[in-house]
Amino acid sequence: MTSSIDDSEEKNYSFNFKNTKFKYTVVSVKFFDELQKDLDKLYQNENLSTHKNFRVYIDKMKFVLPEDFPSAKYVILLARETKLGLIDLNYEGKKHQIMISPGYFGKSNYDQNELIDYIKTNITKSSDYRIEPVTGNLHIKSITVRSGLGRYGRNNLCYIDEMGSFIALRAYLTDFDFKEEKFFDMRLMDACENCRICVTKCPTQAISEDNSPIDVDRCITLYNENPGELPDWIEQPLHNALFGCMSCQMFCPANKDVMKNPLHLGELTEEETMLLLKGTKDSPLLASISEKLQIPIAKHQDYYLSVIQRNLKVLLEKS
Ligand code: B12
Ligand code: SF4
Ligand code: SF4
């Protein structure tokens, strides 16, 4: 990897917007070439899975300026705090508690435009510059790590002080000139140095000890956040969350504090649980379930009902 280490102190900032905690920093687009070269090497060395579920996400990602914004100068990187979700549900006379990984639920009390207005007022402090969301177009962990805002964990996730890995990362391009040159090497958290907990806790052995990408084809999340059948080789007791998988995060020492503060979502009645297990469409109960779980099930019934029906069945079989 070519190195352009700047050993000056990381300059990271934080703010609260509508009761949500954010941390952020900026990185110049002049480092895009170097970021892309690292990715190209992974492609050349065939270190990246060719699984179609994965390629749908990453094939559109490239560290290049979009054709409609060639004058962009910086990427603003935001990390929003997230929480582990816990749902109590009643089923066959018993109460079961199940997890939803951070990031798969949440009631947003602001929209994208309000956040962009906040950035204009408080970060660029001008409305003369464009701020364009580009999260889906960038490998956001690598740029966040190299910006100095976060560090990689051995589990391939990005960690940020005080937030652990319970973060949602967002990127915005802007033509505002921050006059900021910092850019770091890929860095692993100090906590990982003598630790291998995530490697041993991953139920499907997807995480390796070196700093290579995880074996994406073995990651439970690749299957349980997408529609379709769950592969047979993921044995039923290995499933642990309604969406995603918590095994490489919940035992991580760097998440010790954030694990203490889960969000207790609502309790589902027997009737509501049965409705999800049957995948019943257009029920008047869907609105209250969506509200309790903070997931827009009623709005996107085709996707959510089939995925939740399948995942919930496997979790309830287990408990
Ligand atoms: C595709 C994708 C997936 C795929 C593949 C995951 C993967 N690791 O690539 C699947 C569906 C499996 C998945 C799972 C999850 N995901 Co996901 N996913 C993405 C997505 C869309 C792209 C990720 C990507 O670019 N992968 C490509 C690989 C090449 O990148 P990489 O993992 O960063 O690999 C780097 C290291 O190997 C590193 N490396 C190389 N040399 C060296 C040297 C050193 C010293 C070090 C330290 C590192 C290092 O270089 C590689 C690339 O530069 C991003 C959103 C986005 N816009 O980026 C979300 C994202 C990464 N996912 C996210 C989350 C939360 C998850 C899950 C935790 C969900 C869950 N289970 O609850 C799991 C975690 C699985 C895991 N351990 O990685 C969050 C991560 C937040 C965080 N804390 O980092 C993101 C950023 C979404 C978001 N906008 O917030 N995800
Ligand atoms: S469990 Fe240990 S090795 Fe894995 S990310 Fe956390 S600190 Fe690093
Ligand atoms: S999310 Fe689960 S399956 Fe995927 S790497 Fe982490 S522990 Fe392994």
Which residue range is the domain that position 90 belongs to? 13-318
In a domain, 8, yes or no: no
In a domain, 1, yes or no: no
**Residue 169 CA to ligand 2 centre (angstroms):** 19
Residue 219: predicted pLDDT: 98
Ligand 2 in reach of 207 Cβ (< 6 A): no
Q: Which ligand is nearest to the CA of 254?
A: 2
In a domain, 313, yes or no: yes
**Residue 54 CA to ligand 2 centre (angstroms):** 23
In a domain, 2, yes or no: no
Residue 5: predicted pLDDT: 37
**Residue 205 CA to ligand 3 centre (angstroms):** 8
In a domain, 155, yes or no: yes
In a domain, 207, yes or no: yes
pLDDT tens, residue by residue, 57-83: 999 999 999 999 999 999 999 999 999
Residue 46: predicted pLDDT: 85
In this prediction, the residues of the chain whose per-residue pLDDT falls under 70 are 1-9
Contact 181, 28 (CB under 8 A): yes
Residue 10: predicted pLDDT: 74
Ligand 2 in reach of 214 Cβ (< 6 A): no
In a domain, 29, yes or no: yes
The residue whose CA is least distant from atom 1 of ligand 3 is 245
Domains identified in the chain, total number: 1
pTM score, two decimals? 0.96
Mutate to test the pocket of ligand 2, among 202, 252, 258 (most ligand atoms within 8 A of CB): 252
In a domain, 3, yes or no: no
**Residue 142 CA to ligand 1 centre (angstroms):** 8
Residue 142: predicted pLDDT: 97
